[in-house]
Amino acid sequence: MHSLKGRLSWSITLSLVLLLLLQWLVVSYAINKLSEDQLIKRLEHEGESLLASARLNASNQLEIDAQRLSAIYQRPFSGNYYVVISGQQRLISRSLWDTDISVTSLAAGEQQLIYRQGPEQQSLLIVAHGYQKQTLPITIAIAENLGPLKASIERFQLIYAAISLLGLILLLAIQRLMIHRALLPLKEMQSDIAKLERGEADQIASKGPEEIAPLITELNHLLHTVQQKSKRSRESLGNLAHALKTKLTLLNQTAERAEIDGLPEIRTSIYAVTASLDQIIERELKRARLVGNAKPMQQVDLKTEIAQLTHTMRMIYQTKTVNITWEVAEGTRFHGDGEDLLEILGNLLDNACKWCARNVSLTVTGNEAPIFVVEDDGPGCPVHELNSLTQRGFRADETVAGSGLGLAIVYDIANSYEAKLSFSRSAALGGLRVEIRFSPRIP
């Protein structure tokens, strides 16, 4: 079971059931024992009363004064019986009718508790005592049917079980409410993380109880660290590109010095290397400019960001007079890192602007599963080479005629989001058509 709520519910439910079952057993045993002890004491008192009513008649025979006894001993098979033994004499209660109870003589002060089957299949508890009255040894056994007592105890057990069951249901309802309330901080934390994903927050706001407060603190610290590292990494990339560009300028100036005039091959080689490096540096600088101050995990306003992005492209390609049109469908949302999205669109638009004749189009549709389509009116890519653009690990821009700048970067980022990247010829503009389909967000 992977649900924390389910595990808590089952463990607490099992504990409550076992506890109530144990309580039922203990209470049932206690009631049974107390009732039986009370019955034994009462039978002992009955025996003492019977002893007091016993006397010797003129024939020196033991007899019982029936008037001093309860009428229950007179009613046949009433469930209450007695047997009095004195030497060879044996007196039994009228309630035994023509039956008897097997009891042996006991010495004075001796006592026995006997459980035995009696008349009419009655389950009897027999309390037998040995006495001595006027030097005459007497054994008195008082018996009572346990059936009514057991029936009363069983009724009590049933009633107690029903009350326990109702109590268990009530406790389970209270337990469910308590678990729900106890897990509310986790729900709030889940909501805060969802806000992080949507870009509506940059930290987990909920504090939570002291058990999960350290976890929230560590997660916030981790988020801050990742954001700072990402920012420093991109800033360092831009700074490095600027520094290298400065060094390349110095290297070109060195190649133009008079001492190199006699070494035209070396000068040409230096120019070729610096030109290649300069192209790479320009690409990295464009990426840094395209990303700008975007904040990771922040809500991306697609219309605003695309408007700024197209403006940047027009500035970069101002000598070419590129006509960039774009459209974003209402309700379309991007769930992810804003920097990743800007880098994807920046590279696609940069590639389209570089190879277009004049027109570039960007459309965004799809609501929760956005689809980005970038088209241009450039020479495009031969059909037999389109598949090579989507191959994993594709890096060389020069392998694709007419396009390819930054497409490897786009592929890597799209792949990290499990988005589908496809290339085709644009039916509307005639050039390359690049489509990225993001998967629907899992709630």
> DSSP letter at 117?
E
In terms of residue numbers, what domain contains 124? Answer: 4-151
Pairing relationship of beta strands 111-117 and 420-425 according to DSSP bridges: unpaired
In a domain, 239, yes or no: no
Average confidence (pLDDT) over 241-254: 78
Q: Is 85 exposed, middle or buried (0-12, 13-18, 19+ CB in 10 A)?
A: buried
Percent of the chain with pLDDT over 90: 13
- Nearest residue to 442 (alpha-carbon basis) of 258, 197, 213: 197
Residue finishing a domain among 102, 129, 151:
151
Burial 197-232 (b: 16+ CB within 10 A, else e): ebbebbebebebeeeeeeebeebeeebeeebeebbe
175: in domain = no
What CATH number is associated with residue 36?
3.30.450
Using a cut of 0.75, tell me whether the model's pTM lies above it.
Answer: no
> How far, CA to CA in Å, does 188 sit from each of 202, 206, 221, 351?
15, 6, 18, 43
Residue 121 domain flag: yes
Q: Measuring CA to CA, which residue among 348, 325, 347 is closest to residue 435?
A: 348
Domain boundary among 89, 122, 151: 151
| 233 located within any domain | no
Whether residue 192 is contained in a domain is answered as no
Domain assignment present for 145: yes
Q: What is the DSSP string of 317-366?
A: TTTTT-EEEEEE-TT----S-HHHHHHHHHHHHHHHHHH-SSEEEEEEE-
Whether 372 shows a pLDDT value over 60: the answer reads yes
pLDDT at 275 exceeding the cut of 70: yes
Segment 40-58 shows an average pLDDT of: 85
Alpha-carbon span 443 to 261, nearest angstrom: 68
Task: Name residue, tokens 């897990």.
Answer: 183
374 beta partners? 362, 434
Sign of CA dihedral 59, 60, 66, 67: positive
CATH number reported for the structural domain that contains residue 409 in this entry: 3.30.565.10
pLDDT confidence of residue 323:
93
CA atoms within 13 A on the CB side of 271: 10
Name the domain count of the chain: 2
Tens of pLDDT, residues 340-369: 888 899 889 988 998 899 999 999 998 778
- Domain boundary residue among 103, 130, 151? 151
Written as six digits, the tokens of 34 are 């107390």
* Greatest mean pLDDT range, 52-66, 219-233, 311-325: 311-325
Whether residue 188 is contained in a domain is answered as no
Task: Answer whether residue 177 is part of any domain.
Answer: no
For tokens 């035994």, the residue is: 96
